[in-house]
Copies of this chain bind each other. A is one copy, B any other.
Amino acid sequence: MALDETHDPQRTSWVASAQAHGEFPLQNLPLGVFSIDGDTPRGGMAIGDSILDLKAALAAGLFTGEAERAASAASGATLNPLLALGAAARLALRRRVFALLSAGDPAAGAAQKLAGNILHDAARCTMHLPSRIGAFTDFFAGIHHATNAGLRRNANPPLTPNYKSVPVAYHSRASSVRASGFPVRRPNGQHETAENQPEFGPSRKLDFELELGSWIGPGNALGDPVPIARAAAQVAGLCLLNDWSARDIQRWESAPLGPFLAKNFCTTVSPWIVTIEALAPFRIAQPPRPAGDPRPLDYLWHEGDQQNGAFDIELEAWLSTASMRAKNAPPQRIALSNTRHLYWTVAQMVAHHTCGGCNLEAGDLFGSGTISAPDQSGYGSFSELSFDGKQPLTLASGEKRAYLEDGDELTLRAHARREGRVSIGFGDCKGTVVTAV
């Protein structure tokens, strides 16, 4: 989308906590599903330290026309109906809520009077998954991670021959995706012993993966591929995604059909959908490919997407061990990366996923694959940070980490920043490892 007044850095909200909030200023307005005091989950938008209750605002008569249709679609326990409406409805809702929450906007008076009814203290709310996820597809588009994974497999060259032609992906498990904060139980599973025997027990190589998630809408019909020129319009917004992985299980089970139990025990997402509209100021050209890399095949090539189809979003992984928390020591950042390190854009992922006719549905979730920076300071998994455990990371607390240990709390964060623009954030994507059953 073109930038409009909803990106204007001069505009502020009458919700005081939204000023310089870092995550959820007036210019962000992410979509999510919340509940409060155990009541029915429903759609909301984050503003500062508050949540705008879309159902309550709708009931109060604050919406008309396309925005009313969108708010109505966001009033239920999942946002699938809103995602199904596509970009125009989402944009109408954004523009109307922006006006309602803007200091000095003619529309704001009515909303401000109703603040007690339509705004909730976010700290008192429970966040839920934003959609009933029909399918979760995980890509492998972080080229530095793909390279490191190849090195761990002793592959030479480390990237598979298809990597620069195919946005490699696999279907993962939708039923075990959970919103930030859900405890992550260490999985049991089969791994191979040093004596090449199969053994069943708790994973000894429990890992995180720093990924960007994409929420899909409106979707396409079976047999009706989405051409690359229209593919970006299938993405409603983004989130953080931690694709928890059990590397020992993965290594033993993956031949010949890929990862399965190593990934399906839990996946954590940040609960807010940061909309594509909010992210418009943070678009960048597809990062330059190394000299000699092939031009993508035609079905993956769109000039506009190449010029402005990627994102500049800073990504971080923070670790807090049980011992650190006991001593009130702050979490430690263990990785700093950026979505610039994706080899494929989200639009290319959509075009590829549907090129054979596969149907996407509103509320589907894509993972990007682990986004590692080129050097160790930005490796987005322990398999990379510790070189598969061979060089454990020494933390500021003095503890060492080859992989995640029980009690470890891992938090992903994301921020988009640009000179002259108001920074926005994604909110936390957090999980604490609990002991295997």
- Show the binding face of A for B, using Cβ within 8 Å: 134-135, 140, 149-150, 153, 155, 160-162, 165-166, 168-176, 178, 185, 187-190, 192, 196, 198-200, 203, 222-223, 225, 246, 249, 252-261, 264-266, 294, 297-299, 352-353, 355-361, 364, 437
Contacts and interface: CB of A to CB of B under 8 A. Distances in A.
Nearest to A132: B134
A162 B250 CA distance: 11
Given A170-B258, A355-B188, A222 B266 contact: yes
A174 B173 CA distance: 11
A140 B260 CA distance: 12
B171 A173 contact: yes
Given A198-B162, A297-B200, A356 B253 contact: no
A349 B437 CA distance: 20
A165 B190 contact: yes
Contacts of A357: 176, 185, 187-188, 265-266, 437
A200 B149 contact: no
B297 A175 contact: no
A175 B223 contact: no
A154 B355 CA distance: 29
13 contacts: A134-B174, A135-B175, A161-B196, A162-B252, A162-B253, A162-B255, A170-B171, A171-B172, A185-B223, A187-B355, A189-B356, A200-B299, A261-B358
A352 B437 contact: no
A153 B256 contact: yes
Contacts of A266: 222, 357
Copies of this protein in the assembly total 2
A361 B175 contact: yes
Contacts of A260: 168-171
A141 B297 CA distance: 36
A222 B298 contact: no
Given A185-B223, A258-B258, A437-B225, A165 B198 contact: yes
A216 B165 CA distance: 37
Contact of A140 (B225, B257, B437): B257
Contacts of A169: 257, 260
Nearest to A263: B171
B356 A261 contact: yes
A356 B189 CA distance: 6
B437 A223 contact: yes
Contact of A261 (B135, B178, B199, B352): B352
Given A162-B252, A166-B252, A258-B257, A175 B134 contact: yes
B165 A360 contact: no
B298 A200 contact: yes
A234 to B, nearest CB: 14
A84 to B, nearest CB: 14
Contacts of A150: 256
Contact of A256 (B149, B172, B189, B364): B149
B255 A257 contact: no
The 7 closest A-B pairs by CB, nearest first: A258-B258, A187-B356, A165-B198, A160-B255, A170-B257, A171-B171, A265-B356
Task: Kindly name the residue among A196, A198, A199 whose own CB sees the greatest number of chain B CB atoms within 10 A.
Answer: A198
A299 B201 CA distance: 10
A338 to B, nearest CB: 23
Task: Kindly name the residue among A150, A171, A264 whose own CB sees the greatest number of chain B CB atoms within 10 A.
Answer: A171
